[in-house]
């Protein structure tokens, strides 16, 4: 028997199970309750944030049967012939119930001709048809389509919420995970439930009942916490030689520079937030592990706010240019030079 992957197993089945999108769930629940459901919706946002799950839940809540729920992947069915077939099928009444729901995922992948054909259907939809379009790239969806839909923007899932979800799933699966390990999975999931669950699926397949930060770092080719802290101290103290040595170690060990930069960026940003808004202390403690938080609390006051901001800006530039560099470590080396050789206080 094939094992069900985690992102399918733990996909929300009701509005109450949807996490991180309260602003959307509240509106949709009220629309269903008041009988004010639109004929067309556009769900836009990053991958793994719940767009398809919420679309399915909405379909269920308005009484759409499984047989009348039609899901189309525009990445593979993007031409005008597929949309013409949809236009023809839309005319027919539901086989069960009162509504047919069409979920078109990755709608931005449709061709120009297909969009034009879809537009005509959205302008004059049958009373029994409801369309839910989903996209990760709303800028590629024509304004004429956007204007005929109710638009909802899905947000990336906060690290603190991802961390709780990760710990909960691991426990339900009969495993253990420490706080630092859960935090690393959350950090490298980039605000996506699906990405976090995909990482967990692979980690749990290793068979170890206890998951610690070392296992996560090894699996994701992420540098150790010690290297991360040493590098940040090198930036703060402008120790160019030490910083270059750390980059050399990371490169020689074939570790992921981008993941390393994510860890450094998170710590520097957290220092700025804690320094500027002390009332965020509890929130940051929840988001970070105990060791990470103690570190940022210790070093947040060594530099002035402006200098921390300058370091963050330089590192962000390195993060953004990494993919365009012929050497993965080069943007980070240049950033280190820029930070350490400056005359700022």
pLDDT, residue 2, reads 57
CB of 107 closer than 8 Å to CB of 140: no
First to last CA, the chain: 63
Give the Cα separation of 129 and 179 in Å (integer): 46
How many CA atoms are closer than 13 Å to the CA of 38, on its beta-carbon side? 19
pTM given for the model = 0.84
Please give the pLDDT value at position 1: 46
CA angle (16 as vertex; 134, 153 as ends), nearest 5: 30
Tell which residue, 130, 118, 148, has the closest CA to residue 56: 130
- Contact between 322 and 279 under an 8 Å Cβ cutoff? The reply is no
> What is the model's pLDDT at position 56?
97
Burial letters 245-275, b for 16+ CB under 10 A, else e:
ebbeebeeeebbbebbbbbbbbbbbbbbbbb
In sequence order, the 6+-apart residues with CB closer than 8 A to the CB of 50 are 12, 18, 19, 20, 21, 154, 193
> pLDDT per residue over 245-270, tens digit each?
999 999 999 998 988 999 999 999 99
Pick the CATH number of 225-340 from 1.10.230.10, 3.40.50.2020, 1.20.272.10, 1.20.950.20: 1.20.272.10
Cα–Cα distance measured from residue 23 to residue 20, given in angstroms and rounded to the nearest whole number: 9
- The reply to whether domains 21-153 and 225-340 share a CATH topology is no
3-state percent helix, strand, coil for the chain, nearest multiple of 5: 60, 10, 30
Classify domain 21-153 at the CATH superfamily level.
P-loop containing nucleotide triphosphate hydrolases (3.40.50.300)
Q: How far apart are CA 275 and CA 296, in angstroms?
A: 10
Q: Which strands make up the sheet holding 150-153, listed edge to edge?
A: 69-73, 100-105, 129-135, 40-44, 150-153
264 and 232 Cβ atoms separated by less than 8 Å: yes
Tokens of 124: 């004059």
How many whole angstroms separate alpha carbon 52 and alpha carbon 27?
A: 17
Radius of gyration, CA atoms only, the chain: 24
Q: Where are the domains of the chain?
A: 21-153, 159-220, 225-340
Per-residue pLDDT of the chain (345 residues; tens, 9 = 90+): 457 789 899 999 999 999 999 999 999 999 999 999 999 999 999 999 999 999 999 999 999 999 999 999 988 877 788 888 888 888 888 888 889 999 999 999 998 988 998 998 898 888 999 999 999 999 999 999 999 999 999 999 998 899 999 999 999 999 999 888 898 899 899 999 999 999 999 998 887 889 988 888 888 888 888 999 999 999 999 999 999 999 999 999 999 898 899 999 999 999 999 999 888 888 888 777 788 889 999 999 898 889 999 999 999 999 998 878 888 899 999 999 999 987 654
132, containing H or E segment: strand 129-135
| CATH fold label, 159-220 | Helicase, Ruva Protein; domain 3 (1.10.8)
């Amino acid at each position: 028997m094939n094992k069900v992957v985690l992102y399918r197993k733990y996909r929300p089945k009701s509005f109450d199970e949807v996490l991180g999108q309260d602003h959307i769930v509240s509106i949709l629940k009220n629309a269903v309750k008041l009988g004010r459901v639109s004929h067309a919706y556009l769900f836009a946002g990053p991958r793994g944030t719940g767009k398809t799950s919420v679309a399915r839940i909405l379909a269920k809540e308005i009484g759409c049967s499984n047989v009348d729920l039609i899901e189309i992947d525009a990445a593979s069915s993007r031409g005008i012939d597929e949309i013409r077939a949809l236009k023809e099928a839309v005319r027919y009444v539901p086989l069960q119930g009162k509504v047919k729901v069409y979920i078109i995922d990755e709608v931005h992948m449709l061709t120009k001709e297909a969009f034009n054909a879809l537009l005509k259907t959205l302008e004059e939809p049958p009373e029994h048809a409801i369309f839910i379009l989903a996209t990760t790239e709303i800028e590629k969806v024509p304004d004429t389509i956007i204007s005929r839909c109710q638009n909802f923007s899905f947000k990336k899932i906060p690290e603190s919420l991802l961390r709780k979800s990760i710990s909960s799933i691991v426990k339900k699966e009969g495993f253990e995970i420490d706080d630092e390990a859960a935090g690393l999975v959350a950090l490298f999931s980039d605000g996506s439930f699906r990405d976090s669950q995909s990482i967990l699926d692979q980690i749990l397949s290793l068979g170890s009942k206890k998951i610690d930060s070392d296992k996560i770092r090894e699996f994701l080719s992420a540098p150790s916490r010690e290297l991360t802290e040493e590098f940040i101290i090198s930036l703060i103290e402008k120790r160019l030689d030490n910083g270059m040595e750390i980059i050399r170690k990371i490169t020689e060990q074939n570790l992921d520079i981008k993941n390393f930069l994510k860890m450094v960026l998170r710590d520097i940003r957290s220092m700025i937030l804690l320094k500027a808004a002390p009332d965020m202390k509890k929130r940051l403690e929840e988001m970070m592990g105990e060791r990470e938080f103690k570190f940022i609390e210790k070093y947040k006051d060594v530099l002035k706010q402006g200098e921390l901001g300058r370091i963050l800006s330089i590192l962000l530039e390195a993060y953004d240019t990494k993919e365009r560099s012929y050497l993965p470590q080069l943007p980070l080396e240049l950033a280190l030079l820029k930070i350490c050789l400056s005359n700022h206080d």
